[in-house]
Amino acid sequence: MKTIGLLGGMSWESSAEYYRIINQQIKQELGGHHSAKILLYSVDFDEIAQLQHQNKWGELTQQMIHYSKLLEQGGADMLVICTNTMHLMVPDIEKHIHIPILHIADAAGLAIQQQKLKKTALLGTKFTMQQDFYKQRLMQNYDISVIVPNAQDQETVHRIIYNELIHGQIRSESKRTFLKIIQQLHDEEAEGIILGCTEIPLLIQQTDCLTPLFDTTLLHASMAAKQALKLEV
């Protein structure tokens, strides 16, 4: 079994889900007393969030490179960044480490391909929804077109993520708001919805709506568990 390097804390609420899902899947696959081999570097998210909202992406990139190097030096065989937004830095991080990065958009893309969908909607932080790094990867690598909510709904989704979900606050009113936005995206012919922020699955699950949902936390963590076993020497 290979060692998974988790770069987490963005937020710790969703990072805890990564730890749980990976260990559950390793246990299910191997049985007995087995659990995953994991190295976790957990950041202080307040520092990250402030730099995000100050648009200091260069400084954030240097921090992410530093944390990734620490995980590689600690013995991680692969890197799993436990957040969608910070995959913006993956091309820069890849230049400075020698272990593979399991990209969260790949986890989503493979799952969407399996269901033979061609047009999906992306929900996440406004950084993820407004920039192209996620949408372009899905289009170029998986031939999946991606739409996002209108500007007002983007602000609403972003606010709920940062003001509520990151703090572990689950509100029925916010769930209703998300479901309304999902319905609007479905009406715009989105065949599925990418829950492109690792906190969103804390609020919305597949049982809440008929439109196919792609839980990036579950998909990404599952990819890590499978890769850890696949790479076994």
Residues forming the active site: 83, 197
For residue 2, the number of C-alpha atoms closer than 13 Å in the C-beta half-sphere is 22
The torsion of the CA quartet 73, 79, 80, 83, rounded to 10 degrees, works out to 80
| 36 secondary structure, DSSP code | -
C-alpha distance from residue 153 to each of 86, 140, 149 (Å) = 21, 26, 6
Residue 150 · residue 157 · CB < 8 Å: no
